[in-house]
Amino acid sequence: TIDVLTGFKYIAEKMKGFEETKEHTFLFGYEESYGYLIGDFVRDKDAVQTCLLIAEVAAFYKKQGKNLYDGLQDIFETYGYYVEHLQSITLEGKDGTAQIQAILEDFRNNPPIELANVNVNVREDYAIQQRFVLASGAVEDIRLPKSNVLKYILDNGAWVCIRPSGTEPKIKFYYGVKEASLEESHAFIRKLQESIEKRLVTFSN
């Protein structure tokens, strides 16, 4: 698995690199806005390919007397209940732009040491391309293009990522967790969101 910035242009960039170096074979790409790509003969998200793959997966489970939902539950039970959530906050106009920047700078200059009562283990700042491992004090390079993105990874593997929208007057908060049940995952997502919202109260006045 290789992480890239949001956008299929970054996925296509990797595909081109694999073709040139023969280092890897591209199999599947996706991004947070629900775009998917199977194979390297198209260089952007492709709903037709995705529908065909979903149909194939549905046929696979039907032979077992299951539907897609049943198959998803099997995956959750095997690997854990992964849940992600996106919270977008709209802040329009000149004041909104300044507010978005102020929020990002506050999180950058005063990073949280815990969220939802769980310690932050790793802090990533894509603007300076560095990853800070808090327990050891190690500083590692992030080999991705510079971007105004912050990410906090907790001791339990949950994470929060913050970035401004590139096309709308919004600041976006992404949450990701994995727990032993779907209910526990949703509950911890809510706790993370509440932790962030408490911090944002100071910017609403």
pLDDT-based confidence at residue 3 (cuts at 50, 70, 90): confident
| 80-203 belongs to CATH 3.30.70.1050 | no
pLDDT tens per residue, range 75-124: 999 999 999 999 999 999 999 999 999 999 999 999 999 999 999 999 99
The full DSSP string for 82-150 is: EEEEEEEEE--HHHHHHHHHHHHHHHHHS--SEETTEEEEEEEETTTTEEEETTTTEEEE--S---S-E
Give domain limits for the chain: 8-77, 80-203
